[in-house]
Amino acid sequence: MNDFIVGPLPLWAEILTGLFAVMGAAFAAIGAFGLVRLPTFFRRIHAPTLGATLGVWCTTLATIIYFSVQGYSLFLHAVLIAFFVALSAPVTTIFLMRAALFRERSKAGSGAAMPPPSLSARAPGAGQRPHA
C-alpha cells in the first residue's frame, strides 16, 4: 500500500472535508461556550458533552473522507476514536451528575432524594388537580 500523499483532492472531497471540519470545530466551540456561559452546573454539563460528541463525529467524517480519497481505499481507523468518545462522554457525564447531586443533597442536610435546585422549579399550576 502506498502511504505517500498522491496530490490534491478533488473539489467535492475538499468541500466535504472542509465542511465537516468546520462543523466539528463549531460544535466543540458551542460546547465550550455553553460550559462557560450557562448558569448552573446541571445546565452546564450538557453543552460540552453534546458538543464533544457531535464535534468528534464531524471531525471523524472529515478524516474518513480526506484519507479515503487520498489513499484510494476506505479509511475507517478514525471511527475507533469517535466510538470511544461516544462511549466515554455519557458515562463521564453520568458520574459527574451523580457526584453533583450527592453534593447538593449533602448541602441540604437531609438524606432524602431531592432534585437539584435548578430542576425543582415547577411551572405555575403544575401538580394541581383540574377543576371538574
Higher-confidence position of 28 and 86: 28
Give domain status of residue 125, yes or no: no
Give domain status of residue 69, yes or no: yes
CA 85 – CA 98 distance, rounded (Å): 20
The mean pLDDT of 45-65, rounded to a whole number, is 88
Give domain status of residue 123, yes or no: no
Give domain status of residue 35, yes or no: yes
Give domain status of residue 129, yes or no: no
Give domain status of residue 70, yes or no: yes
**Band of the pLDDT at 78, cuts 50, 70, 90?**
confident
Confidence (pLDDT) at 130: 54
Domains: count for the chain: 1
Confidence (pLDDT) at 14: 93
Is-above-0.85 flag for pTM? no
Cα–Cα distances in angstroms (integers) from residue 85 to residues 38, 56, 93, 126, in the given order: 23, 8, 12, 38
Pick from 46, 52, 48: nearest CA to 85? 52
| Domain extent for 36 | 11-108
Give domain status of residue 1, yes or no: no
Give domain status of residue 21, yes or no: yes
